[in-house]
Structure 1
Amino acid sequence: MNYQQEIIINKPRKEVAEKFSDPECIRHWQRGFIAMDPIKGAPGAEGSQNLLKYKMGSREIEMKETILKNNLPTEFDATYEAKGVYNHQTNIFTEIDDHTTQWLSYTEFKFSGFMKLIGWIMPGTFKKQSYKYMEDFKAYVETGKSVLDH
C-alpha cells in the first residue's frame, strides 16, 4: 500500500526540521509514544537504528527505525519494522516562504502474516493514523499544543 499526504505548517522550515528531528519532541506529537532507545550508530545519522516503543490501546508495540537519509531541513527518509509490518517513509520539507513550510510524506506499507489481512481490510486506518500524526505535529510546532495535554 502506497500513499502521499501533505500538510502546510505556518512556521519556518528550519524550526519545523529542528522539532521533527528532536527525539525529545516526539512524545508531544506522536500519541502513544513511550521511548526511543538507540540500537546502532549516532542518533539521527544515516544508517543508525533505534528501537521505538508505543502504547496502542492495551498493547505495547516495538518497532525498529532505520534512518536511510537525513538531509534535514529538506528530507528525512527511514524505515520502520514491527511484527508483520514494514513501513518506508520519505518526508520532504519545502520552504513556501520565510514563515511557511510544506510537509510532503510518501508512505509505503508492506504486510505479512496476520497483518496482511488487517492491511487489506482496513487500509484507511493506516492513512488516518499517518495524517493524525501530521496534524498533531503541525499543532505542536505552531502553538506548542502537546498530545500529552489530553
Structure 2
Amino acid sequence: MKYTVEITIDLPRNEFLKILDNPENMKHWQRGLVSYELLSNQPTKEGAQMNLKYKMGKRELEMVETIIKRNLPEELHTTYDTKGVHNIQKNYFKEVEGKTKWISESEFQFSGFGMKLMGFLMPGAFKKQSIKYLEDFKAYAEHNTSVLSL
C-alpha cells in the first residue's frame, strides 16, 4: 500500500528542520509516543537506528526506525519495522516563499495474514494517521501546541 500526504508549515525550512530533527520534540507531535532510545552512536547518520515505543489506547507498539537516506535540507528517508509491518517513509522538504512544504511518501509492506487483512480492509486508517502526525507537527512548530496538553 502506497500513498502521499503533504502539508505546508509557516516556517523557513532551516527552522522547520531544527524542530523536526530533534528527537526530544517528537513527544509534542507524535500522539502516543511513550519513549525513544537511540540505538546508534551517530544518531543522524545513514544506518542509524532508534527504538520507539507507543501506547495507542490499550495497545502498546514498539518499532525500530532506521535512517536510509539523509540529504538535508532536501530529504530524509527512513524505515519503521514492527511485527508484521515494514514501513518506508520518503520525506521531502521544499522551501516555498519562506514556508516549508513537507511531502511524505509512505509505503507499507505487510507480513502475516492479520496485518495483510488490516492493510486491505483499512487503508484509510494508515493515511489518516499520517495526516494527523503532519497536522500535529504543524500545530507544534507554528504555535507551540503540544499533543501532551490535549
**Partner residue, 1:119:** 119
Partner of 1:40, secondary structure, is coil
1:89 paired with 2:89, answer yes
The one-letter amino acid of 1:45's match is: K
Distance of 2:5 and 2:137 partners within structure 1: 14
**Partner residue, 2:39:** 39
Distance of 2:106 and 2:31 partners within structure 1: 19
**Partner residue, 1:2:** 2
**Partner residue, 2:26:** 26
Distance of 2:17 and 2:2 partners within structure 1: 24
Distance of 1:140 and 1:101 partners within structure 2: 14
Spell out structure 1 runs of 4+ moving beyond 2 A: none
**Partner residue, 1:105:** 104
Is residue 41–residue 49 contact of structure 1 (8 Å, CA) maintained in 2? no
Distance of 1:109 and 1:41 partners within structure 2: 28
Cα RMSD (Å): 0.9
Distance of 1:44 and 1:19 partners within structure 2: 14
**Which structure 1 segments of 5+ residues have no match?**
none
**Which structure 2 segments of 5+ residues have no match?**
none
The one-letter amino acid of 2:123's match is: P
Q: In the TM superposition, what is the alpha-carbon distance from 1:41 to its structure 2 partner?
A: 3.8
Q: In the TM superposition, what is the alpha-carbon distance from 1:112 to its structure 2 partner?
A: 1.1
Q: In the TM superposition, what is the alpha-carbon distance from 1:11 to its structure 2 partner?
A: 0.7
What's the TM-score, normalizing by structure 1?
0.96
Distance of 1:101 and 1:120 partners within structure 2: 33
**Partner residue, 2:134:** 134
* Equivalenced residues, count: 149
Is residue 41–residue 47 contact of structure 1 (8 Å, CA) maintained in 2? no
Distance of 2:92 and 2:65 partners within structure 1: 18
What's the TM-score, normalizing by structure 2?
0.96
Q: In the TM superposition, what is the alpha-carbon distance from 1:71 to its structure 2 partner?
A: 1.7
The one-letter amino acid of 2:110's match is: F
